[in-house]
Amino acid sequence: MSKRWYQDNRRDAWRRIARSKGYRTRSAYKLKQIQERFAIIRSGDCVLDVGCHPGGWLQVAVEESGEEGLVVGVDLLATSPVEGAVVIIGDITDDSTIERINESLEGREINVVVSDISPNLTGRYDTDQTISLELSTLVLDAAMRFVPAGGSFVTKIFQGIGIEGLVEAAKDRFSNVQRFSPTASRSSSSETYLVCQNRLPRVRAAARGKTALEQVNEHLGRLGILVEEAEEEEETVVGFRRLNKDSD
């Protein structure tokens, strides 16, 4: 049997298990495995799921937070209703979406932000990884607007250039930051999850006054990768522009 056959079969196995248990996605098992290992969601918690469509993680978050919990999901795409969850259509990088999330909280405080966010993949790994790095960094910045001291944050990341900058930015904000690759992810996949626990009451000195995005930009600068804001307006979230240092 080829390695590819084995990987496809394993992926299908997770999909079959998820379907048989009523979960909308195989990814639901990734959050279940993160939960088994780190117990990030506690009964009664208020959970924000960023990039929630089509709703597999929402289903798990509703189960784990229980009857006293509150689960809010946000995605660019519409998500069919999930019992026990509030779903918002919006771009997490927009202030108006942050406002709508705040309005949906019924005065409660979010304890955990989980994110399986992924850009529209182009199939070109460097481009996809760069856009994903920016998106995950923006989700960390958004999470910092909600998660209180002691709270947790999880995001998907694609391995590659610049990731260490995001890990460092996370470590400046949380006391416990670990990478975790659930077995429900494809073994060939370069995706992994950054699990950040125990938000610090104060960001570490190195990061004071900076957003995570600014820190990641600085990190890319140190690597010799110049970073510029995209000039053109585009509908989708546009990633960092990697420019050759010698180019003008």
Ligand X SMILES: C[S@@+](CC[C@H](N)C(=O)[O-])C[C@H]1O[C@@H](n2cnc3c(N)ncnc32)[C@H](O)[C@@H]1O
Binding site for ligand X (CB under 6 A): 24-25, 27-28, 51-57, 74-77, 91-93, 116-119, 135, 237
Distance of closest approach, residue 193 Cβ to ligand X, in angstroms = 11
Neighbours of 172 (CB within 10 A): 18
Q: Which amino acid is at 22?
A: G
**DSSP SS3 for 47:** strand
Task: Tell me 24's DSSP state.
Answer: S
Distance of closest approach, residue 7 Cβ to ligand X, in angstroms = 18
Q: Which of 53/173 has CB closer to ligand X?
A: 53
Q: Does the annotation count 21 as an active-site position?
A: no
Q: Which of 229/248 has CB closer to ligand X?
A: 229
Task: Tell me 6's DSSP state.
Answer: H
Annotated catalytic residue: which of 21, 30, 32, 156? 156
- Strands lying side by side in the sheet with 174-180: 85-89, 70-75, 46-50, 112-115, 152-158, 191-199, 174-180
Distance of closest approach, residue 206 Cβ to ligand X, in angstroms = 27
Q: Which of 119/162 has CB closer to ligand X?
A: 119
The whole-angstrom separation of Cα 19 and Cα 89 is 25
Q: Which of 59/197 has CB closer to ligand X?
A: 59
Distance of closest approach, residue 117 Cβ to ligand X, in angstroms = 4
Q: Is the peptide bond before 54 cis (omega within 30 degrees of 0)?
A: yes
Catalytic machinery residues: 156
